[in-house]
Structure 1
Amino acid sequence: MSKLNPLTTHREFSGLPGAISITLFLPLVLVFFALVTNENYSIKGINLQLQPILDQVPSNLDQLIDLCFDRECWVAYLAWFFGLVIVDQIIPGKQLQGIELRDGSKLNYKINGKLMSLTLIVVLVSRLYTSNDYYLPELQFLYDNQLKLTIVITIFSFLLSFFVYFISFIPLSYENGLGTRERILSVNGNAKNPIYDWFIGRELNPRIGNWDIKLFCELKPGLLLWFLINLSCIQHQYQIHGQVSDSLVLANVLQAFYLFDGVLNEEGVLSMIDITTDGFGFMLCFGDLAWVPWSYSLQSRYLSLSDNYYTLGYFKCSLIIGTSILGYYIFSQSNNQKSEFKQGKLNHLKSIPTKTGSKLLCDGWWKLSQHTNYFGDWLIGWSWCLPTGFQTPLTYFYVIYFGTLLVHRQRRDEAKCSAKYGDAWIEYQKQVPYKIIPYIY
């Protein structure tokens, strides 16, 4: 067994059964979202009109092929994805190194999220300025083809995940051409089970030349598409009503701030578990490219329906904005405090020494709970859902899903820290017993 790539012993999501279930179930969830976010969806949500939804389900092979392989939608998405790849290569950026890998090397990353975002905004503003009546047919195409594009991007995610899985078996060539070296695999993706390794991600950092596929998919095609989907909802509502509701504007603004904050702080992603630990397989590929844009935009897609024009008023808007500000403050301040502590700037804060030489921070924000930043992030998610009111539980799917995801992350981190820090982690849990929500969980 390779010392560089040890065999995976722990399997996430209950191993193979979980991998298969998630692979089959989550794409169906996105298809369901696309079916119910249409003009036949009941405004009350509880009285869901099933028959109009079932009428949209393809009843024969020809209709299914049309949904899955619509030429216009495939051309549009391939142009979007690979167009961003080209722009990503052309636009300059800051060169940063990632963490040290198991072979002692460090990968170079080009950080250009700010210029990428600015380029997209300039293109949109230019198109809007030159358009008739501030109407963009590209956004209308996006709105009118939600179901087909959902399926197209899901299929593309499957194809890309197979591609990165197969290239993980091809040895890397030395730059001088004198030999080859072993690829660095994910600690979670070397279980020797093809289906599980494909799902969880076999290779840690799949690349073509200097282009890092995982970092690109993490922040650019999915997040920016989410932004465009939300804009298409605003345009659609304006075309119907001649104005845009404050609820839809608020949902758009809050989500745009969050997603652009992620893109603009691209270098922070280099230290996240997605980049440092997880391989790039179907789970991340589908999550980045399909799940994020089509599930995170659910609130805007619901509010854009003609029967769901919903006005909040100043008071409710203020409360929702306050929730978002509070969540973002907790999220950013706690993360900044931990970052500064790791840099040795806050040595006066209480901490627990470990056998590895590092310290576990248990003061400031981090005496409130083990993952105070998760709590802030969850509050931000609530501010996205609240603009839809309480007409349907559907639009609160995100906070339920995200809360479940955060609990899974917390348990995953706890298992890793327990094995790494031993007695120090036991003492840490005594001093900081709450997991995510201060004084509750």
Structure 2
Amino acid sequence: MPSKHTVKVKPNINGITSVDIKQKKNVTLIDTDNEIVFEFGGPWGVTAMMIGFPLLMFYLWGCLQFYRGKLVLPLEGELWSQIIKEAWPTWYATKIYLMFCLYELFLAYFMPGPIVKGAPVASLNGKKLDYLCNGVMSWYVTLITSYILHRYGYFRLTEIIDNLGPLMTVSIITGFTITFTVYIVTIIQGNQYRMSGNIVYDLFMGAALNPRLGRVDLKMFAEIRVPWVVLFYISVSAAVKEYEMFGYVSATMAFMVLAHFLYVNACAKGEECIPTTWDMTYEKFGFMLIFWNFAGVPFTYCLGTLYLHLSSIDNGRPIQHSPAWTFFCYALLISGYYIWDTANSQKNRFRMTLNGTYIPRSTFPQLPWGTLKNPSYIKTKQGNLILTGGWWGYARKIHYSADLMMAFSWGFICGFNTPIPYFYPAFFVFVLTHRVTRDMERCARKYGKDWDEYCRQVPYIFIPGVY
């Protein structure tokens, strides 16, 4: 039976921690990720998703824009003719979206930042790739740039919420375009990996594992620099619009700005933790990641913001709740954020310490209990260490539970007059459940009895003492 160990963390003269685990030496990295497993219902399932999800985005936007949140029948009256007319991809919206993406790519390429080694990639014979982590600098430069553009009239931030439909369409077109481009270039270069042989399924899951544009990792760029930043600016745009209309920003709209700021800021300040995650080492760069990051996240997770914005126009004043309910929403958001941020920090810094890549940083905010001292863990026969200390001793996916706390708070702040703001938390439940299933099946195959022992020591998946 595997035993429970304690990591001995020793600071070196530079203040960077290293882990004294002699058993880690001479461990052979096994590529257990080369197995082809059809997911999401296989080729037919992913085809339905590639067609259905963009249509769902248009439908939900149309229900809010023209029916103020009522879920009308999909073929109801003039719904689709209205959507086509109001969400048609204008040249102005195209310039806004593409110039933003190119500017973020420019910052990702040229801004200074630490270079961090990723986890060993089995498909590259254990090679650790370099990742330029300049997310914090790029984020602050983006904030300053947007302020200057708005303040001096070069680009009013209210243009985002005023052109949300066309911007969404441009993002959808961009997602498909990048998907096909990356797939074709990867095939031409002969860099495809873990291919199923079914072109539609491979297009959805991707062909490239670690695509790069110079020193910019495209997966990390798409995951961090586009979706959450766009989402944040949609909420900022709606808040500025509300201020111009009513002379103040309501507690409900301020909530959305805060919620989306916390998320994008967390991604930027902790970017150096991302290279060791599953997305970077296992997931391929296909439609699933590309479309979701360039279009799905910003233009479906913003439905609550859009609802609050349109409701304020209809009612002649912003939506307000009782002080008790507003306090509850803020408390749920902030407590969920604290658990999510510190749990992710604990796990990723544990990994980085093992890999010798941990770099203490003073990016804001550094929360208490974000770094564990002498955490407990389980050592597997492959030489991998599974963290059981900190938050990870309470539940195996405690960070997902915290993520869902934040997601539901985004819906609660909108009230209950329409179910559309709850699309994000409901969809997130499905996504995280599916992801947990994939992860646990993969770990069970990889670690065998060691995984059984881990499940015995940490029996709960999401909620300690419950499930």
> Would the TM-score normalized by the shorter structure come out above 0.5?
yes
Question: Any conservation in 1 of the 2:211–2:218 contact (CA below 8 Å)?
Answer: yes
Classify the secondary structure of the residue corresponding to 2:335: helix
Compare 116-125 and 357-366 and name the one that shifted more. Answer: 357-366
CA distance in 2, matches of 1:385, 1:49: 20
Letter in 2 for 1:126: I
Q: Structure 2: where are the runs of 5+ without partners?
A: 1-29, 355-370
Q: Does 1:19 align with 2:37?
A: no
- 1:226, 1:292 within 8 Å by CA — same for their partners in 2? yes
**Within-5 A mapping of 1:12-411:** 12-38=39-65, 40-42=66-68, 45=69, 48=71, 54-58=77-81, 64=84, 67-101=87-121, 102-104=123-125, 105-131=127-153, 138-171=156-189, 183=191, 185=193, 187=194, 190-305=195-310, 306-307=313-314, 309-339=318-348, 341-342=350-351, 343=353, 350-411=376-437
Distance 1:220 1:202, change over 3 A: same
Q: Is the 8 A contact 1:36 1:53 kept in 2?
A: no
Q: Which has the higher contact order (CA 8 A, sep 6+)?
A: 2
Unaligned runs of 5+ in 1: 172-181
Distance 2:175 2:383 in 1: 41
TM-score, normalised via structure 1 length: 0.85
| TM-score using structure 2 length | 0.81
Contact 2:391 2:398 in 1 (8 A): yes
**Residues 372, 436 of structure 1: 8 Å contact kept:** yes
Q: Give the percent of matched residue pairs that are identical in Structure 1 and Structure 2.
A: 29
Change (3 A) 1:148 1:204: same
Q: Which moved more, 1:404-413 or 1:354-363?
A: 354-363
Residue in 1 that maps onto 2:11? none
Farther off after superposition, 343-352 or 143-152: 343-352
* Distance change in 2, residues 1:373/1:66 (3 Å): closer
SS in 2 for 1:106: coil
Once the two structures are overlaid, the 10-residue window that deviates more, 363-372 or 190-199, is 363-372
Is the Cα–Cα contact under 8 Å of residues 255 and 384 in structure 1 kept in the other structure? no
Superposed displacement of residue 27, structure 1: 0.8
Paired letter, 1:433: P
In 2, are the aligned partners of 1:16 and 1:196 still within 8 Å (CA)? Answer: yes
RMSD of aligned alpha carbons: 2.9
Kept in 1: contact 2:117–2:128 (CA 8 A): yes
Secondary structure, in 3 states, of the residue corresponding to 1:99?
coil
2:448 aligned partner, one-letter code: G
> Is the 1:349–1:363 Cα contact (8 Å) retained in structure 2?
yes
SS of corresponding position for 1:13: coil
- Following the alignment from structure 1 to structure 2, what is the Cα–Cα distance between the partners of residues 333 and 249? 24
CA displacement at 1:155 relative to structure 2: 1.1
CA distance in 2, matches of 1:146, 1:56: 17
Check whether the contact 2:158–2:237 (CA below 8 A) recurs between aligned residues: yes
* Pairwise CA distance, 1:295: 1.0
1:351, 1:362 within 8 Å by CA — same for their partners in 2? yes
2 CA distance for matches of 1:426 and 1:4? 21
Report the alpha carbon displacement of residue 328 of structure 1 after superposing the two structures with TM: 2.0
